[in-house]
Amino acid sequence: MRLPPAMIGHTEAVLREVLRFTGPADGTLSRYFRENPRLGGRERGVIAEAIYGLLRNKSVYTSFSESGSGSVMRRITLLGLADAVGIDALGGLTEEEDAWLRRVMDIDRAHLPLALKSNMPDWLWQKLASKFGEDEAMKLASALNTPASLDLRVNALKSNREDVIASLAQAPILAEPTPYSPFGLRVIKKPSIQNLPLFKDGTIEVQDEGSQILAQLLGAKRGEMVADFCAGAGGKTLALGATMRNTGRLYAFDISEKRLAKLKPRLARSGLSNVHPVVIAHERDAKIKRLAGKLDRVLVDAPCSGLGTLRRNPDVKWRQTQAGVAELNVKQASILDSAARLVKAGGRLVYATCSILDEENEGIVAQFLATHPDFSLLPASQVLEEQKIQLEMGDYLKLYPHKHNTDGFFAAVFQRNKSVAKAAVKDEANADQSAE
């Protein structure tokens, strides 16, 4: 079935907006679809697929678009649509455009230079090649440029994986257990699940397996006091609440009231009553100071570059900059420092990002350990073994899409030493009083 010629114009219009990189691509697409309600579901799907394909392959498509005739933006648009639905499905092509498209789409991309084939901005490709070597960096880049699978987390308060697999099969939706997370399911293909009874009643939540593992690293137990320090929309908060079996007290802190508002309907579906969402002004809000030295466990899923999530958000690599990462480093160190004050003697602190850059990960950890003698690093391998998660790791959790079929994640686990923690808490309290 051929697409109407107007589809090229719609896709080009959206692309112009997206390539300004003034905000996330999904927000731009949603706004455009609201402004053009006559576009049907299939048409919206094709436009979205073409745009995301263009963002994943932007370097190659920009290079290819240097040939041909007409505007560069139209040529790039045609390449995205041809990749999404095939050349024969495109209506409104001139003979010249058709011939050019077929010639360009036949180019063997395996012979392109690695830096171009990576479809990464130059600064990021150089970092990856330096860290992993060109061959490994290319495998990582290729995986990051491939759409992610659909992962679900089964709410252990309501069901188990086997029963959910059986229920999904009646839809019919095929799913299989994820290899690492004990609560994860990987759905075959990517069906819509929002209208499923299992989703509406909170039995399942959409959550990448890597994100599920981060929640497991915290090791939250029944009856404990726990905080998700940068809760956002609350995916990990919900996982932690279920792990705690809906007991104890779980704080969901975030500076964004809008993000926390997205947690409320998910919380209502989940059946959890131990979660307490709290909007804070900043990482040193008075609401946090009152809990200093009182919490058993604190998770810091820090604001980061998001470069581990390119399978889902390919525009991030083009919107992020080295200067932006440097600004994030300052924020990450400050947030981790503040969150650490909540942890009681013998308690656990987990620092995590969805980044693959050393300066957001090992660099922040080294800085933290150098300035916080009351904390010790717990090897991730040890913690994973405690949680019965079969993952070969060293001191840190490092997940990569080309190795683990998850988003890119990093995590470090700390324990607050009992011998020096009380003195540290006292010093912090005195410092707070002086500041006031």
Catalytic residues: 354
Q: What does the CA dihedral 162, 398, 390, 186 come to, rounded to 10 degrees?
A: 20
Q: How far apart are CA 275 and CA 239, in angstroms?
A: 11
Q: How far apart are CA 363 and CA 370, in angstroms?
A: 11
Burial-class residue 364 by CB neighbours within 10 Å (0-12, 13-18, 19+).
Answer: buried
Is 228 labeled as ligand-binding? no
CB 123 within 8 A of CB 307: no
Residue type, 66: E
Is 301 labeled as ligand-binding? yes
Q: How far apart are CA 9 and CA 28, in angstroms?
A: 16
Chain Cα centroid distance, residue 124: 18
The tokens for 219 are 């090791």
Q: What angle do CA 152, 157, 163 make, to 5 degrees?
A: 60
Q: How far apart are CA 52 and CA 46, in angstroms?
A: 10
List Cβ neighbours of 47 (8 Å cut-off, separation of 6 or more): 7, 10, 11, 14, 29, 39
CB 153 within 8 A of CB 147: no
SS3 160: coil
List binding-site positions for S-adenosyl-L-methionine.
254, 301
